[in-house]
Homo-oligomer: A and B are copies of this chain.
Amino acid sequence: MATTNGKVQLHCPVPKPETEIITLGHGSGGILTNQLLDSGVFSLFQNQYLDERHDGSVLRLNGKIAFTTDSFVISPIFFPGGNIGELAVYGTVNDLAMCGATPEFLSLGLILEEGLTMDDFRKILTAIKAAADLVGVEIVTGDTKVVERGKGDQIFINTTGIGHLHPQANISACRIRPGDKIIVNGEIASHGIAIMSVREGLAFESDIRSDTAPLHQPVLALLDAFGENIHCLRDATRGGVATVLNEITRQCPLGIDIRETDIPVQASVAGACEILGLDPLYVANEGKFLSFVAAEVAGEALALLASIPGNSQASIIGEVVATHPGQVIATSIIGGRRMVGMLPGEQLPRIC
């Protein structure tokens, strides 16, 4: 009846097995690390690359490659609409997509806090595998570290991704021109509100779920159809749509006009924002991106995007202008104009 942490407990009539947990020994590099590797926890990732059990994997790549990294420290690790596992896959997949690349290979770096239950760990790894399979991306190299209780927070995940650039991709903030239309691929602000609802124990309408989703399909469809007319792409994660737009106006010295009436927000999310006094423009997304598109193809691009499942609420929310460089101006529902700055301070820490 000795248990994993060395304590002996007696129960009658039948001993209840103690929950398996991650211990510091699992990060030692020694027997326990190898037992963890052999335990089946990781076997769902089995492929020719990981079977080598070397310090890295060898890939064949040719041409222009996008390379991007992201660490995920979201709290809570399970939330309405997903968990940190799929978020970590889609987050990096989406960063590759924003470069105009097809996601192909991911690395997986795990920092586990001692005491994480093996059950939660398995759920997260299962979500990682399912997300990777959905996208068609392979996890080819990884690393696991364990830190003492109170020196981490259950699990942090780093994913770093590689993918070949779409042959017609030429994505850069420098390519944005006055007149470009700005398209968002759907309703904004659900991720941030979903996380906030769990974090703050608020009971919003039950349909508010994180929008976490892979974005490579709509992006690759846009590039297939419109190539170099897609000038720039950005996913609107931390800091929301407003922050991305402001970053863009800093990088290309142009202005941006948006119309609040054209920005799609799910009614329940809009309601929650109102209750909380939040502007949806600043709330984080995990499945929304902005395309800066040459005006002449904007209508067609919108129609294409809206025809792709999950993107039916796509909308042209505004355009790039030569006036007021460096500023984002929103026209409100009643016609007033206001400057939309970057997210000041911290809205909600650890949103991704």
Contact = CB atoms under 8 A, between A and B. Distances in A.
Contact of A28 (B27, B64, B345): B345
A59 interface: yes
A105 B67 CA distance: 9
A156 to B, nearest CB: 6
Interface residues of A, number: 87
Interface of A, secondary structure class, is: mixed
Task: Specify how many copies of this chain sit in the oligomer.
Answer: 2
Given A25-B346, A34-B342, A148-B349, A58 B165 contact: yes
Contacts of A143: 69-71
Contacts of A309: none
A98 interface: yes
A55 interface: yes
Q: Which of A24, A61, A105, A341 has the most CB of B within 10 A?
A: A61
A158 interface: yes
A270 interface: no
A336 to B, nearest CB: 23
Interface stretch (A230-238, A255-263, A300-308): A230-238
Given A109-B69, A160-B158, A349-B146, A62 B61 contact: yes
A277 interface: no
A109 B158 contact: yes
Contact of A29 (B69, B105, B343): B343
A32 interface: yes
Nearest to A232: B54
A28 B73 CA distance: 12
Interface string A72-99: 1101000000000000000000111011
A196 interface: no
A223 to B, nearest CB: 14
B145 A73 contact: yes
18 contacts: A28-B238, A30-B282, A30-B345, A31-B344, A52-B173, A54-B98, A54-B171, A55-B94, A55-B95, A56-B69, A56-B96, A56-B98, A57-B66, A58-B67, A68-B141, A70-B109, A109-B158, A147-B349
Q: List the 7 closest A-B pairs by CB distance, nearest first.
A: A29-B238, A30-B343, A56-B68, A29-B239, A69-B107, A160-B160, A55-B95
Given A30-B347, A56-B66, A59-B65, 19 more contacts: A30-B238, A30-B342, A30-B346, A31-B344, A52-B172, A52-B173, A54-B99, A55-B99, A55-B234, A57-B66, A58-B67, A62-B63, A71-B110, A109-B160, A111-B111, A146-B349, A147-B349, A148-B350, A150-B150
